[in-house]
Structure 1
Amino acid sequence: MRNLPFQTFLSHFYQTPKGLSLLNDEKLLIERSLDKVFGYYLVQMGMTCEADLTQKCRVSHKVFTDLALPKNVSPEQAQEFVVADLNYLPFKDDSIDAAVMPHTLESVSDPYHLLRQVDKMLVPEGHILITGFNPFGCQIIRQKMGENRQSFNRANLVKESRVVDWLNVLGYEIQKVSFSTLSCATKDVETYQPSRFLLSLEYWMDKVGLDLGNVYCVLAKKKVGSPTPVGLNWRLAPWQTVKKGRVIANSEVHQSRAVDSSNK
């Protein structure tokens, strides 16, 4: 297999039964996370599949960007497509209300550099949504050891805890972290119902902080720092002392102490 970018590989992998199972889990997580995200402009960075992952999002205008225009893209979608290197995004600062990154961090060499770029693009109170494969997910471990091991091992698989740490450093409010259901085998999503054992196992694993779902989704909001009003953060000069509501010099304090000690 050629050394294609990971998102380009996913566009083919998601057409297989194993990949389709993971894709449907991811679509469900994205739909639930974007349910209450509003705004004028949304940018999806990277096309991992032909389906519109943000179809149910309520943002007015959607823009897609990737290294190349997909083959099966419609003329309407082509007008909203920006061909660009994901390491150097050509968008203005404070111009985007929401950024969707499906496995985008797994496709670049410096994920934190990309996050800093997206942070500049987002308006205050804007949202960022990141999806990725859980390195400890059962199907992901199988893929890293199976026929697609070359592509999965070359991908920069990042744990959700690392993504949360990066967003916290940038000053984001983590609104939601969700995982797909536990699954170690390919399943038909239309008829699949998790067993009681799996549901019980997921419940207790969530209680102890262990998440082994194959796909994770992180939703965060860009917080705005409140300015400090001028005049409130004041301090007295170090050579001054407050006494009985008035400011006196330190020399006066020493003189008064000397008089008191002589009287004693």
Structure 2
Amino acid sequence: MDDATSEKSIIALDLWLQSPAGTYVRAFEQACLDELTADIFGFNAVQIGVPQIDALAANRMPNKWQAATRLSSTSELALAPDGKQIAVALDFAELPFASQSLDLVVLPHVLEFAAEPHQVLREVERVLIPEGQVIICGFNPASLWGVRQGVGRIASSDYLPAAGEFISMPRLKDWLKLLNMGVTRSYFGCYAPPCRTTQWLNRFGLLESAGQRWWPYLGAVYIVHAIKRVKGMHIIGPAWNRKTSKAPQAVPATNRK
């Protein structure tokens, strides 16, 4: 997937998120992201892509940015608390942030529509501070929606944006592990069948609680929370001299006759 195709894919995703199914997904992800980010502390946080979701709305860091590509709609970008728009136009594979400068990065549906998803993750690892956190949203290929998408590609009737390369959660966890980012929490959601109308999606609302209990890994979308681990860091204690000779043992005095 070249850069031009990637840009078209992101625009297609933006349009899809306005559909009934997209609204259904956004509602689940917004609630989950609010819960996840509310207790993540630090100074600098960035949301990359998908301005239709305000992934940092519940977060209380003083510096928050909404990053998007130049072809994304700037009218929908997140606003700062004072009402001033904060946006960074960038290439997701080359983030304009210093190494180890961010406490939190959120990637809602970025990797599956990126030209180089591995490079995007490498850049995220670079800009995160040690113990910095990343949250990733993605479509689950092992779901009814994933199956419907596969059938739709054969019949030229896609349900999700056609150009997406959907990444399974086990595969994503392997990528994160290679970058020394350990997954701490993961969530699945959106268990309704791939319907195209709000009426039918609402009719299957009861499947949400049933899916969480009986088939939790078959949700249409997932959210992964990981922390950047830094190897080789040890607590330094006092340097003891192992060659110090042992103190002589006290010898009890004996009575002389």
Q: TM-score range by the shorter chain?
A: 0.7 to 0.9
Choose which of 56, 61, 64 in structure 2 pairs with 1:62.
64
Which residue in the other structure is 1:127 paired with?
133
Structure-2 separation of matches of 1:89 and 1:109: 14
RMSD of aligned C-alpha atoms?
3.2
Deviation at 1:227, TM superposition (A): 3.6
Any conservation in 1 of the 2:30–2:54 contact (CA below 8 Å)? no
Amino acid across the alignment from 1:127: Q
CA distance in 1, matches of 2:98, 2:212: 42
Cα 1:151–1:191, aligned 2, differ >3 Å: closer, same or farther? closer
Shift of residue 102, structure 1, vs aligned partner: 0.6
Q: State the alpha-carbon separation in 2 of the partners of residues 81 and 215 from structure 1.
A: 26
Alignment match, 1:118:
124
For 1:38, which of 17, 37, 41 is the aligned residue?
41
The corresponding residue for 1:205 is 215
Distance 2:53 2:205 in 1: 25
Are 1:219 and 2:219 an aligned pair?
no
From 20, 23, 30, give the equivalent of 1:20: 23
The aligned amino acid for 1:36 is D
Structure 1 range deviating more: 112-121 or 23-32: 23-32
The AA in structure 2 aligned to 1:223 is R
Inter-partner Cα distance in structure 2 for 1:113 and 1:75: 25
Task: Give the counterpart letter for 2:125 in structure 1.
Answer: D
Shift of 1:118: 0.7
Q: Is residue 161 of structure 1 aligned with residue 167 of structure 2? A: no
Over 3 Å counting, the alpha-carbon distance change for 1:22 and 1:198 in structure 2 is closer
CA contact (8 A) 2:192 2:201 kept: no
Query: For structure 1, which segment, 144-153 or 123-132, has the greater mean C-alpha deviation from structure 2 after superposition?
Result: 144-153
**1:104: which partner in 2?**
110
Contact 1:131 1:218 in 2 (8 A): yes
Partner-residue secondary structure (3-state), 1:116? helix
Aligned residues: 226
How far does residue 95 in structure 1 lie from its aligned partner after superposition?
0.5
Could you say which residue in structure 2 is the equivalent of 1:11? 14
Counterpart Cα distance in 2 of 1:106 and 1:31: 22
Q: Secondary structure at the match of 1:5?
A: helix
Q: How many Å apart are 1:205 and its aligned residue?
A: 2.9
CA distance in 2, matches of 1:198, 1:19: 16
- For the Cα contact (< 8 Å) 1:124–1:223, is it kept in 2? yes
Residue identity in the other structure for 2:61 = V
State the Cα distance separating 1:33 from its structure 2 match. 2.0
Q: Quick check: 2:109–2:136 contact (8 Å CA) kept in 1? A: yes
Q: 1:149 to 1:119 in 2, by over 3 A?
A: same
1:201-220 CA-partner distances (Å, limit 9, x unpaired): 542334xxxx1101100001
Aligned equivalents of 2:224, 2:57: Cα separation in 1: 18
Percent identity, aligned pairs only? 25
Quote the Cα distance in structure 2 between the aligned partners of 1:50 and 1:89: 21
Q: Is the 8 A contact 1:9 1:151 kept in 2?
A: no
The alpha-carbon deviation at position 113 of structure 1 amounts to 1.6
